[in-house]
Structure 1
Amino acid sequence: MTPTPRPYRSYVYAYPHKTAYRALPERPELAALWAGEPKDALSLYAHIPFCEVRCGFCNLFTRIGAPDELTTRYLDALDRQAAAVREALGDAAPVRFATAAFGGGTPTFLTAAELERLCDIAEKRMGVDLRAVPLSVETSPATATADRLAVLAERGATRLSIGVQSFVEAEARAAVRPQHRADVEAALGRIRDTGVPVLNIDLIYGIDGQTERSWRVSLDAALAWRPEELYLYPLYVRPLTGLGRLQDPAAADREWDERRLRLYRYGRDHLLAHGYEQVSMRMFRRTDAGPAGPDDYACQTDGMIGLGCGARSYTSALHYSFDYAVDMREIRSIIDAYTETEDFSRAEVGRAVDGDEARRRHLLQSLLQAEGMPVAEYEERFGSSPFADFGPELARFEEYGWLAADAPAGLLRLSPEGLAHSDGLGPELFSPAVRAAMAAYEAR
């Protein structure tokens, strides 16, 4: 039997990965990129790259603090970008947004007045009816203040997602996320007071020193709020103690993989036993929770408009964004350059998506959902069979026990173990070209 890939190779939340993007020499005009694209079910994502503290596990595009009225200058640039993008979309065909999200960073790092302005940009510049579509906003315990939350609730937020990570204060410190449980509980109370229909709580497993017992403390503390959604994230930064004392790096990796898988299975089974259904490896939804609002957006096929220097935009042929970095100094430089940009009419950094990459993306993003992928849906879109296009990969997945043998006819679906190994399965579907580009990326 072929050796099974490591279960925690890469968190695959988009494909191709941003480290496969490169500067676009031709700098194509957005108007040309969007000219022939369907625009009747777009998604809007606004990226706010500011946080009050940078967590030890974080590799997101964000910076700590915003001196010298940087948030004002950032929103000024976001306004200019939104105006340019909306002009590029044109009016020859109907332009409609089906969903919206504000992420980061921490969008609620902005003041209440700045959040009002962000909503105005989405509505008045882009034409999004925030009260008529699902609107998801990320927050943190320290920034989920009553005045900020009131703005978001009044402007149409249907989902508030709070990154708690752990209710155990020692674990929060180990993850370089210092916080007091009382403050976390108070923030959750304020979120519930808004009446926003969907509360999501993010938790992390694999923190140094975490055990099944302490993991259950966090799970039960979250369940006490009866959140409509819970996300369980594996830690992707090697602990600095414990495993670091092992002499053999390979042994350390194996031990950490096994510990994370053990905690994942414990968390999964605990949530399933408490009235939640599994949507993906990370996402769990309360079975009696109603929908957050109409949502006819499909990430596999519909376009995305990203505003902000860390946001991506997707057309059928090109994924594009701005420059990318993880190092704090580089991030600051990119944010400063963004705030000084006047002309947002062209794509600067990205990667072309040809037919093969579109097939990979569709299969990957469908298969990593617990409901699976209707084979007929794939065949209708591409005129070919996933078994013909990805025979060797699917054969390996079957050999590993990752495909559900009891799936209904015509449905390609992962088994429970396949879902558990989503972060090992996803990279198996990356094309050789994307793998090469990611390997050649110089981290900065």
Structure 2
Amino acid sequence: MSSHPQHLSPPSAAYIHIPFCRRRCYYCDFPVSIVGDRVMGEQSGTIVEYVAQLCQEITTSSASSTRLNTVFFGGGTPSLLAANQVKEILATLNRQFGIASNAEISMEIDPGTFSLEQLQGYAQAGVNRISFGVQAFQDDLLKRCGRSHNVADIFASVELIRQVGIPNFSLDLISGLPYQTLQQWQYSLETAISLAPQHISCYDLVLESVTAFGKQYQPGETPLPDDETTAAMYRLAQQTLTQAGYQHYEISNYAKPGYQCRHNRVYWQNQSYYGFGMGAASYTHRQRFTRPRTRQAYYDWVSQGCKIDEPPLSETDRLLETLMLGLRLAEGVDLANLTQQFGEAILKPLWTCLQPYYHQGWVEATSQTGEILTHLNSIPLQGKIRLQDPQGFLFSNTILADIFNQF
């Protein structure tokens, strides 16, 4: 173990927010800027200005002796950037922090938003992992979501990824969409598997009140699938993907052995990370900070010197975040690390809360060697606690709500 607790170590991960989209999807509440179908890369003054401001923010940050092991371009639609712009951002990060030679450099891309030449440029700039926003394999569902691509675009785009030879790509799928059936979900899962990505993410639709879907639909009401169907979709994904050789390593994520997303693990292990760009969140020096969510407010903040003035998180907040994030992982939370950070006194109230779920089979305790511990009357000091897959994961919100109430 390092001499620093993980949350106090200098970050070795950076998230880069690229806010531009052709249109806003009906389920999206991310900070994005809509640029239409024709605007891309260096032909867009808006995008050129944003990249300059983003690089200015990175340059203003305190340099660190810890190199970056992961960089993640999220959005928005980062594939609306030209390859040279991605190269410029990575060069700025490298000057400021250094990027490790074996770093995982991920980029979210959308089908139909990039060319072979563009993808080759991204790979030459250092991008070695693609996160591919597919969402569904039915044209009618894609249209209902407000997506700008169709199913044909998905297959054409995967072919380009293969031609470029990017060694690691992930597909995103969404369950619980309006009018989506269990049969359609099964078809999407099987089609995703047939494309042989190294990683698949399956997200359940979340209705945010500010989105088009949030204004149009009520949770649990038709045309949204009912709770029973969405639970069946979750179990079907778990069964179908694990049988196809994907490890279910996090509530929503599946990977072939050796291909877990290193960047996202930083979040789930509650380690520190940089965030750069409009609306991006960072976690450094025990401070969580979210940048302004509109372009002009973000530019004003950059011009004023990128000041971060947030109080450090309390010990209780850090404990709750460590549990909430760590229990998303299949391996769960390491009890020795937990007591090292927060003291043994937290174990008794934690067990008070988890014990009913443990006896129900939704929570499991494992030894240091990974064996499941049965007939426990108290929480062990070593080993891990984790949510059972799939039932514990399915009811994770219930379990976590109880933990929050307990502390």
Structure 1 residues 203-242: aligned runs within 5 Å? 203-237=173-207
Deviates more, 1:278-287 or 1:399-408: 399-408
Moved over 6 A (4+): 238-241, 249-255, 291-296
Query: 1:199 offset after TM fit, Å?
Result: 0.9
Instruction: Find the aligned partners of 2:132 and 2:90 in 1 and give their Cα distance.
Output: 19
- Residue 388 of structure 2, aligned match among 415, 418, 424: 415
Distance 1:168 1:383, change over 3 A: same
Aligned pairs for 1:94-173 (under 5 A) are 94-129=65-100, 131-173=101-143
1:84 alignment counterpart: 60
Residue 302 (structure 1) shift: 3.1
- 2:20–2:34 Cα contact (<8 Å) kept: yes
Deviation per CA, 1:215-260: give whole Å up to 9, x if none: 122112111111110011111239999xx899xx777699622221
Structure 2 vs 1, CA of residues 363 and 107 (structure 1 numbering), >3 Å: closer, same or farther? Answer: same
Secondary structure of the structure 2 residue equivalent to 1:310: coil
Length, aligned pairs only: 376
Structure 1 residues 116 and 205: alpha-carbon distance in aligned structure 2, compared to 1, 3 A threshold: same
1:357 aligns with 2:317: yes
In structure 2, do the counterparts of structure 1 residues 207 and 252 end up closer, same or farther at CA, with 3 Å as the change threshold?
A: closer
Report the counterpart of residue 3 of structure 2 in structure 1: none
Identity %: 25
Tell me which residue corresponds to 1:342: 303
- CA–CA distance in structure 2, aligned partners of residues 311 and 123 of structure 1: 19
Structure scoring higher RCO (CA < 8 A, sep ≥ 6) equals: 1
Q: 1:50 aligns with which of 17, 20, 31?
A: 20
- Contact 2:331–2:386 (CA<8 Å) still a contact in 1? yes
Superposition map of 1:346-385 within 5 A: 346-347=307-308, 350=310, 352-384=312-344
Unaligned runs of 5+ in 2: 1-6, 374-382
Q: 2:282 aligns with which of 313, 334, 352?
A: 313
One-letter identity of the residue aligned with 1:306: G
- Would the aligned equivalents of 1:277 and 1:284 in 2 still touch at CA under 8 Å? yes
Query: Does structure 1 retain, via aligned residues, the 8 Å contact 2:58–2:96?
Result: yes
- TM-score normalised by the chain length of structure 2: 0.82
Counterpart CA distance in 2 for 1:54 and 1:251 is: 23
Establish whether residue 398 from structure 1 lines up as the match of residue 358 from structure 2.
yes
TM-score (structure 1 length as normaliser): 0.76
Are 1:372 and 1:411, in contact at CA under 8 Å, matched by a contact in 2? yes
Shift of 1:99: 1.6
CA deviations on 1:331-363 (whole Å, 9 max, x unpaired) are: xxx212223431334115x56311111111112
8 Å contact from structure 1 (residues 149, 194) kept in 2: yes
Q: Which amino acid aligns with 1:73?
A: E
**3-state DSSP class of the match of 2:108?**
strand
Query: What is the CA–CA distance in structure 2 between the aligned matches of 1:73 and 1:204, rounded to whole Å?
Result: 33
* Alignment deviations for residues 167-225 of structure 1 (CA, whole Å, 9 cap, x no partner): 11111112222432111111111112222221100001111222222112211211111
Check conservation: 2:180, 2:225, Cα contact below 8 A: no
The superposition leaves residues 65-90 of structure 1 with CA deviations (integer Å, 9 ceiling, x where unpaired) of: 187611111111111111110xx246
The aligned residue for residue 188 of structure 1 is 158
Query: Root-mean-square deviation (CA), in Å?
Result: 3.2
Q: Distance in 1 between matches of 2:329 and 2:102?
A: 26
C-alpha separation between the residues in 1 aligned to 2:332 and 2:217? 41
Deviations 1:125-171, CA, capped at 9 Å, x for gaps: 34324x43111111100223222211221222231001100011111
CA contact (8 A) 1:99 1:297 kept: no
- Residues 83 and 126 in structure 1, CA contact (< 8 A), matched pair in contact too: no
1:309 aligned counterpart, secondary structure: coil
- Output the CA distance in 1 between the equivalents of 2:263 and 2:212: 44
* Residues in 2 aligned to 1:149 and 1:250: alpha-carbon distance in whole angstroms: 40
Deviations 1:25-45 (A, max 9, x none): xxxxxxxxxxx9532x52111
Mean CA deviation greater in 52-61 or 404-413:
404-413
Q: Which runs of 5+ in 1 are unaligned?
A: 1-35, 325-333, 434-444
Question: Residue 164 and residue 57 in structure 1: after superposition, are their counterparts in 2 closer, same or farther (change >3 A)?
Answer: same
State the one-letter code of the partner of 1:376. Answer: A
